[in-house]
Structure 1
Amino acid sequence: MSGKRSLVVQFLGLLGFLALTAAAAGIGSWATIPNIDSWYAQVRKPSWTPPNWVFGPAWTTLYLLMSVAAWRVWRRVDADPEARKNALGCWLFQLLLNAAWSWLFFGMHDTGLAFVELISMWLVILATLVAFVRIDRVAAVLMAPYLLWVTYAGSLNGAIFWLNR
């Protein structure tokens, strides 16, 4: 393909990244949804906790941005292959941590362990953003809202842990 991916391959690549994030969202939702109206409704939360309806649109938007960011890095065949491999490896790792957090927090009701895992996820998201900026600045910008949201989510998770210890 002489240094470029065909439009069909690019489209299929985008669909692949969308599918990966949808899978992570589905795995997380499997633990989350059954616990929203039961366990989570009973947990003490700080006054600055958003209403439950905010989380769906926020995460949908973030998953779309994350998918497009990874796709942009993947399609940069002109970039250093090792840098692309490492950047996409970081992206995949943060996605796995993202799905795992839901199981720790909602599935196991372990807000403390979820908070520790979220700190790890935050660090991996930051590493992903830094790796992305070296390959595609737009991809890094697309990851920034996710890092900000996880910063907020981390403070919320930490407050819930503190209030319910």
Structure 2
Amino acid sequence: MSWTTVSRRPGPSRPGRGVTGRDVVVLLVFVLIAAAVAALGTAVGIAQVDGWYARVPHVTWTPPDWAFGAVWTVLYLLIAVSGWLLWRRQAQGALVLYVAQLVVNALWTPVFFGGYPLIGVGALWIAVGIIVLLDLLVVATIATAWPVSRGAALLLLPYLAWILYASTLNWGDAVLISLG
């Protein structure tokens, strides 16, 4: 098979080709998937923000509640575009990790916010384990994406920074509530 044959094959993405209508549809699918993860978190967490979460102590570096929605809106958009870029590059290994981190991301909010009323502080410690796994999966996704799409990897850096910060918030709340 010659290089010419390889470079002309159909597929979701050959580097250097323009964006097609199919690409735009797939981008919208990535945005909808990210929005679904966000909606799940919102559905579970919104009632708890003014519930148990408002009544427990938090670490001093906890931002105001409104900041979470604003930050996550931008992050989910960046996450979606990153996934789309990986899809365009046919980066299967990075996409597997991408999907895994999205699944773990979707688990954290129900465990943290929804689990506390059911099992107490134990849910916060389980959430610590989940968010540490999320941290590791996002690092692995970035490392795997870097050789095939630096843009996709770079778009995940703000997400990684935020979840590392969120990890300290989760751990801090678990410690404070355990001691309280």
* Fold equivalence (TM over 0.5): yes
Structure 2 residue corresponding to 1:88, chosen from 95, 116, 121: 95
Structure 2 residue corresponding to 1:22, chosen from 35, 48, 54: 35
- C-alpha separation in 2, matches of 1:85 and 1:19: 20
Unaligned stretches of 5+ residues in structure 1: 78-83
C-alpha displacement of 1:4: 5.9
Unaligned stretches of 5+ residues in structure 2: 1-7, 13-18, 117-122
Counterparts of 1:1-150 in structure 2, within 5 Å, are: 2-3=9-10, 5=12, 7-77=20-90, 84-109=91-116, 110-150=123-163
- C-alpha separation in 1, matches of 2:41 and 2:104: 10
* Percent identity of equivalent pairs: 36
- C-alpha separation in 2, matches of 1:121 and 1:151: 9
C-alpha displacement of 1:33: 0.6
How many correspondences in the alignment?
Answer: 159
- C-alpha separation in 2, matches of 1:132 and 1:39: 39
- C-alpha separation in 2, matches of 1:153 and 1:46: 11
> Which portions of structure 1, spanning 4 or more consecutive aligned residues, are displaced by more than 3 angstroms?
1-6
- C-alpha separation in 2, matches of 1:138 and 1:127: 15
TM-score (norm 2): 0.85
**1:23-78: CA deviations, max 9, x gaps?**
1111111110110101110111011110000000100000000110110111125x
Larger RCO (alpha carbons 8 Å, 6+ apart):
1
C-alpha displacement of 1:2: 3.6
C-alpha displacement of 1:9: 0.7
